[in-house]
């Protein structure tokens, strides 16, 4: 019997609606350079180019993590070893350790605002309903320790989640699709993996990760992509949804086909 539902955050409960432009790169680059300068770290590079390099290195970090069994660095280690490696002097590392999470949050909050990021219109309603019937948790691949938590609190939906089961990859040190972060989530809900289902929006990170962990099943939010264009595993088309309101009907189907 399914007793727990564990959600992904970005692309599932929360989604972006726009893309960034060169003008945004210039603006956020200036914000970050000024932030670092206030803390005694000077960047000798054009703002637009600086931010472009940051984005490139953040993308590289995801490749690095994948090659190393889906580990994930803390914000400080991410900046020290990858993102700001070529800009930071050894004597500046203690300062970097203090400001690292704020630096990452500036990026994530700016990107969220520019991309018009927001929760799905029925997220609160669905979570409130499901919370009365299932234990609810969350796993998010995020380089920020508190971006997701702040968003949940501001939307007034934090209370629908088990406070012990909001797992952020940069805090846990493991990211999806490593099965360990999924089994840890089930453990925090005091459930067996086979008593849980995962709701996400990607095949590799969400569906594959939950499957490896022994979850009862996964429900994939398609973000309005036509079903025929979804890179699904065999039989996973049974569990594709466009609307969070369809989650419970898919849970019944998963239980029926078990």
pLDDT value at 223 more than 80:
no
- Name the percent of the chain lying above pLDDT 70: 94
For 239, counting Cβ atoms within 10 Å of its Cβ (0-12 exposed, 13-18 middle, 19+ buried), the class is buried
pLDDT value at 226 more than 80:
no
- Name the percent of the chain lying above pLDDT 90: 81
Q: What distance lies between CA 219 and its chain's CA centroid? A: 16
pLDDT digits (tens, 9 = 90+) for 14-66: 988 777 778 899 999 999 999 999 999 999 999 999 999 999 999 999 999 99
Which tops the pLDDT comparison, 223 or 219? 219
Please report the pLDDT score of residue 239 as a whole number.
85
Can you tell me the mean pLDDT for 64-78? 95
pTM above 0.75, yes or no: yes
Question: In whole numbers, what is the pLDDT of the chain averaged over residues?
Answer: 92
Nearest CA-CA partner of 145 in 93, 188, 100: 100
Can you tell me the mean pLDDT for 104-132? 93
pLDDT value at 1 more than 50:
yes
User: Residue 198 to residues 12, 45, 86, 88, 97: CA-CA distances in angstroms?
Assistant: 11, 43, 39, 40, 34
The angle that helices 247-257 and 123-131 make with each other, rounded to 10 degrees, is 50
CA dist., res. 146 & res. 140, Å (int): 11
Our CA angle for 174, 86, 45, nearest 5°, is: 120
Nearest CA-CA partner of 3 in 131, 163, 158, 164: 131
pLDDT value at 121 more than 80:
yes
Confidence of residue 87 (pLDDT cuts 50, 70, 90): very high
pLDDT value at 225 more than 90:
no
pLDDT digits (tens, 9 = 90+) for 192-214: 999 999 999 988 899 999 999 99
The alpha carbon dihedral of 109, 140, 75, 78 has a sign of negative
Nearest CA-CA partner of 141 in 235, 77, 205, 96: 205
CA dist., res. 255 & res. 134, Å (int): 14
Please report the pLDDT score of residue 228 as a whole number.
47
Which tops the pLDDT comparison, 222 or 188? 188
């Amino acid at each position: 019997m399914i007793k727990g539902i564990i959600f992904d955050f970005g692309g599932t409960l929360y989604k972006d609606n726009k893309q960034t432009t060169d003008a945004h790169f210039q603006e956020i680059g200036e914000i970050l350079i000024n932030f670092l300068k206030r803390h005694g770290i000077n960047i000798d590079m054009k703002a637009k180019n600086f931010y472009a390099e940051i984005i490139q290195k953040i993308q590289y970090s995801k490749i690095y993590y994948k090659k190393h069994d889906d580990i994930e660095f803390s914000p400080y280690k991410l900046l020290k070893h990858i993102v700001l490696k070529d800009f930071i002097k050894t004597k500046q590392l203690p300062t970097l350790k203090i400001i690292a999470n704020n630096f990452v949050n500036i990026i994530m909050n700016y990107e969220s605002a520019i991309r018009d990021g927001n929760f799905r219109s029925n997220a609160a309603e669905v979570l409130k309903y499901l919370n009365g019937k299932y234990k609810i948790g969350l796993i998010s691949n995020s380089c920020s320790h508190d971006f997701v938590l702040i968003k949940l609190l501001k939307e007034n939906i934090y209370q629908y989640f088990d406070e012990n089961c909001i797992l952020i990859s940069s805090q846990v040190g493991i990211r999806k699709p490593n099965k360990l972060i999924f089994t840890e989530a089930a453990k925090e809900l005091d459930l067996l993996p086979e008593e849980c289902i995962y709701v996400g929006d990607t095949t590799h990170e969400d569906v594959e990760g939950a499957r490896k962990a022994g979850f009862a099943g996964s429900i994939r939010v398609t973000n309005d992509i036509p079903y025929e264009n979804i890179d699904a595993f065999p039989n996973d088309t049974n569990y594709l949804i466009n609307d969070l309101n369809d989650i419970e009907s898919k849970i019944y189907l998963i239980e029926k086909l078990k």
